[in-house]
Structure 1
Amino acid sequence: MSEFGNPRTDVRTALSAAGWREDSRGRLVAANGMVWSEVNDLRDSGLDGPGGSWSIHFDSNVPATVIVAACLAAAGQAVTR
């Protein structure tokens, strides 16, 4: 679970259901190495490429559906409704 007081449970639930696993630092990791994590207690989050090769920042006002779709697309997973 997140170290922050207001976790993006909406995103966590969707990515977990898609097979992403939580690591020891509370980040969710896809099978191909993509990493999504909360970055502060304001609900900002980020998506990092394998090995930190690139990253995308999501402000707190970005809807969960957009974050989940971006994460799944980056991981090469189908986006379903």
Structure 2
Amino acid sequence: MTNFDKLIKKIVKPLVEYPEDVAITHSESDRFYEYHLFTNTNDIGRIIGKKGHVAQTIRTIVYSARISSKKRVRLIIEDGKNKNS
């Protein structure tokens, strides 16, 4: 199976000012392997890009990697905003 941590970091680190702050956590549901991407708050705009184009491109690359499971991979870019606020 593809090492998605390495793949995501390989894509994201050259885009940010603070590559040492790039972190990934995992969670799993019935349908998805979820990868949560955390970066320095100053780098969120670089990851998302204008109109979300950079984020969409990153997701397209990650989602196109082969996986030997019926589950799908989902990349969640954590922007530090609490959804419950």
Q: TM-score, normalised by structure 1?
A: 0.31
Higher RCO, 1 vs 2 (CA within 8 Å, ≥6 residues apart): 2
Q: TM-score, normalised by structure 2?
A: 0.30
Would you tell me which structure has more helix in proportion to its own residues? 2
Higher Rg of the two aligned structures: 2
